[in-house]
A and B are shown apart, each in its own frame.
Chain A
Amino acid sequence: MANTTTSPAPARTQKAPEAGALVTRRKRRYTLLTRHDKILIALMVGVPLTLDLLLVWGPTLASVGFSFTNWQNIGPITGKNFVGFKNYQFMFSGYTLFWPAFTHNLIWLAWLTLIATPLGMFFAVLLDRDMRGTRIYQSVFFLPVVLSLVVVGFIWDLQFAPTDGFINNALGTAKSSNLIDWLGNPRINLFSILIATSWRHVGYIMILYLAGLKSVDPSLREAARVDGATEVQTFFRVVLPVMAPINVIIVVVTAIEALRAFDIAFIINQGKNGLELLSILIYNNSISEASLVGFGSAIAVILLLISLVPIVAFLSRVMRTLA
């Protein structure tokens, strides 16, 4: 993909063609770099590259390799362990948890994109106006972001508990006749934990967006006001376009949050009974006592492929803007 969108670095377009033409004839003549520079560059590129290959791409490729085996983390991997595409075949056809988990990740993404993230942006816009006590509001909304997701999970676990939780008691639905099972009913428990997630996510987006808003040149708004634009028009026609870089970050953050969703569902019930997520399936299969490393890796490969979509979109955009 890099070749089509960003190739022969447009930044160097002025020089590149001549240099390229010459390079083919005599390689070393026109270089501006001393031997020392070259070693330095080799080191600066080589060390991080080696680490990256070793620590990121090595394990990634290993996972892809594992995904074609039925290895259970015991003994060496022999020819007998290779089962071809059997893991993938079972995942898509026989495994009853894959499609629910996939759907739940999508719902998660939709919820964050359509509800939590816009809400965070809305709060940021409100708090950006010089209202009284804005610092206090900021702190209140930002507080959950400081908490680890595990803690957020525990907090909401207690709030949603059917008989002794705060929510059912406050709503008067703690009696057995009309008990709402927030965490145990597979039709609603996903939305319960989405509320818990949003509690944190909204604050996170708010603070990111607020930082962006603070950097918008006030004269732009002033100019808009002079031209007679309303508040809404000013925001959508002036501020939002100026904030384009931040908007990209917000979108990427939201997508990543949805894909890596794990902690809260795991804390609630280890991701079963309506709370299945791809990340949890990977854990439950390969890292837990089950030790189905092969099958877990196959799910991980699928999650990797899905994750590549927003990452590639983001990177290609970044590269384009850099160019």
Chain B
Amino acid sequence: MGDSREAKRVRNRLALPYTGAELPMNLDLSRRDVLKIAGYGSLAAFIAACGGGGTSNNTGITATGGSMSLGSYNTDPNSKKGTDAIVSAFTAANGGTKVKVNTVDHGTFQNQISSYLQGTPEDAFTWFSGHRMRFFADKGLATPIDDVWDAVKSNYTEGFAASVKGNDGKAYAVPTDYYPWAVFYRKDVWSQHGYQVPTTWDALKTLSAQMKKDGLIPIAFADKDGWPAQGTFDIINLRLNGYDFHTELLTGKQKWTDARVTAVYKKWSEITQYYSPAFAGLTWEQGADQLLRKQAGMYLLGLFVSDEFKASGSQADLDQLDFFPFPDMGTQYDAEKALDAPIDVFMLTKKSPTLQADLGQAKAFLEFVAKGSTQVLYWQNAPGSIPTANDADTSTYPALTKKAVQIVSQAKKITQYFDRDSRPDYSGPNGMQGFLLKFLANPKQDTTSLQGQMQAFWDSLPPE
């Protein structure tokens, strides 16, 4: 795990929710299993080959053989293995298409994305859904793929369909995996104290007060890296003010000085007394350790928290991990059951010098990664990334993954997390990460001037 924890650490410094986490599951692949998977792979290749040039020529948008290139930020050992696996499966299935993969360190890739897409990028690249996808689509640095999307969209739910659309209504991406944010807890600790899952805000506060009495840190919270606090802002804003307001606020169509934003901070300040002491000096891993070591009662985080359980705990600890969706707050927006579930996607660049020649192969690749079988192959290597396709074989999912799928499918609105839904110059350490830390340093403060600073900072940013 050393490498992957290190990669994660670096990635966290770069204010990025970790995507390649591991889930609790027994993945002791025997050689036979591997052969089986490879067998299925080649079977798929065989079927594709039988369907012949036929299927691909029928749609007229894909091509077999030839070559293409892929820019990938999957440097974490698990996700890199997963990428390699789907790339070789694609080569086998698509008439031997040679795929040149250029793997770049995750943080570097993200920081350099503007220069990368304007220079000589690869044909296809790994990226995020949300505002960050639409931004580059607007700038004409991504190729629309409506034809591919039309061919694969029957394999996706409506939520995912919305996540691939640019501001111009065209499709720009194929979603391949995601993970939800929820409130995590240990089943054994809860049954020992007889706690019940809170479904309302008041129940959450009552439970927190009880946990405090019982000598627990009610809510583990760790914001040294700056981005974890944004998850709490997202969910409270979604519950209080709804999806539309939230997305408009994060893209500058609403003001940060709005009374509805004030309400979010006011509500938030009701639970900060239950947070981990010294949370501004704790990393999310240290927060996860408080939950793991039974010091804390709850923890609002992404599914990747299970990674820390796997790394620092045992299988028994993992089996105790469970979660519930953030409680209702008594508004009309409770019914949206909205939550953060960041989606990872593949896209096509615009300026790749080889894209014209490889367009058919690149589109064939996007069609290929839209298949459930491909995504499961990736998930088997990187189990923190839940497949997005409807036809993904869910029978081997462990309970935690199944539940994660369930709460996401019940959500009527899905957001991508603050730093993917807003502009990066606003969500980073310069902007919202710092502002939220200022708020959390003194949650009972009158937030008027702080909100004024937030709006002033937004206004100072050049038009996108």
Contacts and interface: CB of A to CB of B under 8 A. Distances in A.
A269 B425 contact: no
Interface string A245-281: 0000000000000000000001111111100000001
A162 B428 contact: no
Contacts of A267: 13
B436 to A, nearest CB: 10
B2 interface: no
A271 B460 contact: no
B278 A179 contact: yes
A262 to B, nearest CB: 13
Contact of A289 (B113, B224, B290, B456): B113
A184 B13 contact: no
B91 interface: no
A281 to B, nearest CB: 7
B280 A185 contact: yes
A138 interface: no
A93 B463 CA distance: 20
Contacts of A269: 224-226, 429
Interface-centre pick from A70, A73, A290 (highest chain B CB count, 10 A): A290
B31 interface: no
B217 interface: yes
A284 B429 contact: yes
Contacts of A97: 430, 434
Nearest to A178: B277
A292 B425 contact: yes
Q: Determine which residue in B111, B223, B224, B429 has the highest number of CB atoms from chain A within 10 A of its CB, and name it.
A: B429
A108 interface: no
B13 A291 contact: no
Given A96-B453, A272-B226, A289-B424, A176 B434 contact: no
Contact of B226 (A72, A73, A270, A294): A270
B119 to A, nearest CB: 11
Interface in A130-154: none
Contacts of A288: 14, 111, 424, 428
Nearest to A154: B9
Contact of A70 (B290, B430, B456, B462): B462
A273 B278 CA distance: 13
Given A290-B424, A291-B425, A179 B277 contact: yes
B433 interface: yes
Interface in B416-462: 424-425, 428-430, 433-434, 437-438, 441, 453, 456-457, 460-462
Nearest to B118: A74
How many chain B residues sit at the interface, stated as a range, is: 35 or more
Contacts of B139: 74-75
Residue among A74, A268, A295 with the most chain B CB within 10 A? A74
Given A74-B139, A291-B114, A186 B441 contact: yes
B390 interface: no
Interface in A73-103: 73-75, 83, 90, 94-97
B39 interface: no
B457 A96 contact: yes
Contacts of A110: none
Contacts of A163: 278, 282, 286, 290
Given A161-B281, A291-B424, A271 B224 contact: no
B114 A72 contact: yes
Given A186-B441, A270-B13, A284 B114 contact: no
B424 A74 contact: no
Contacts of A162: 277-278, 281-282, 286
Interface in B102-143: 110-111, 113-115, 118, 139, 141
A74 B429 contact: no
Interface of A: 70-75, 83, 90, 94-97, 160-164, 176, 179-186, 189, 266-273, 281, 284-285, 287-292, 294-295
Given A74-B139, A290-B430, 6 more contacts: A72-B114, A181-B277, A270-B13, A270-B226, A291-B425, A292-B425
25 contacts: A70-B463, A73-B115, A74-B114, A94-B457, A96-B457, A162-B278, A164-B289, A176-B217, A179-B277, A181-B278, A183-B281, A266-B13, A269-B225, A269-B429, A270-B13, A270-B14, A270-B226, A270-B433, A273-B226, A273-B441, A284-B429, A289-B425, A290-B424, A291-B424, A292-B461
Task: Give me the 9 closest cross-chain CB pairs, A-B, nearest first.
Answer: A184-B280, A184-B281, A70-B462, A290-B425, A181-B278, A162-B278, A289-B424, A183-B281, A272-B429
